[in-house]
Amino acid sequence: MEKTIIKTEGGEVFAEIENPSKMYIATPINARNEKTFKEKYLAAKHRVNMLKEILQYDERFPSGMEMVSSFDINPLGAHTESQAMGRCVTEVMESDAIYLDHGWQSSNGCNLEYRTAKIYGKVIFEYDEL
């Protein structure tokens, strides 16, 4: 099996992933500072889109790796919070890795996604570790 080696900016090996194809991006939504849920949702969605653009061109990640987030599977207003989180947990389980964005520790949803990734042995990247 082909392995991809991901290194830190200092060149140290951070992780090895076999046949990587998908990474889930977790960013806080409800824990954000915006006033309304819609404002929080739109600001977080914008942040994820910027992260996808940045990570797509980061040489440390495999070219062509699919990057998904809550926003790809949960359109605004389409699901209750518990339904949306269930869909996110499923997506994390079906991914090879998870990227935890700045502030993830203050988010219940990101903590659930982190714990899912940890339990299922996914490669975990934190915003400040790379």
pLDDT tens figures, 76-100: 888 898 999 999 999 999 998 999 9
The single residue listed with the structure tokens 């960013």 is 27
CATH number of the domain to which 92 belongs? 3.40.50.450
Domain-located, residue 12: no
Domain-located, residue 55: yes
Query: If pLDDT is split at 50, 70 and 90, which confidence band does 19 have?
Result: low
Domain-located, residue 35: yes
Q: pLDDT tens for residues 69-78?
A: 999 998 888 8
Tell me 106's DSSP state: G
CA–CA gap between residue 31 and residue 53 (Å, rounded): 23
Domain extent for 56:
20-126
Domain-located, residue 3: no
Query: If pLDDT is split at 50, 70 and 90, which confidence band does 14 have?
Result: low
CA–CA gap between residue 27 and residue 11 (Å, rounded): 26
pTM: 0.82
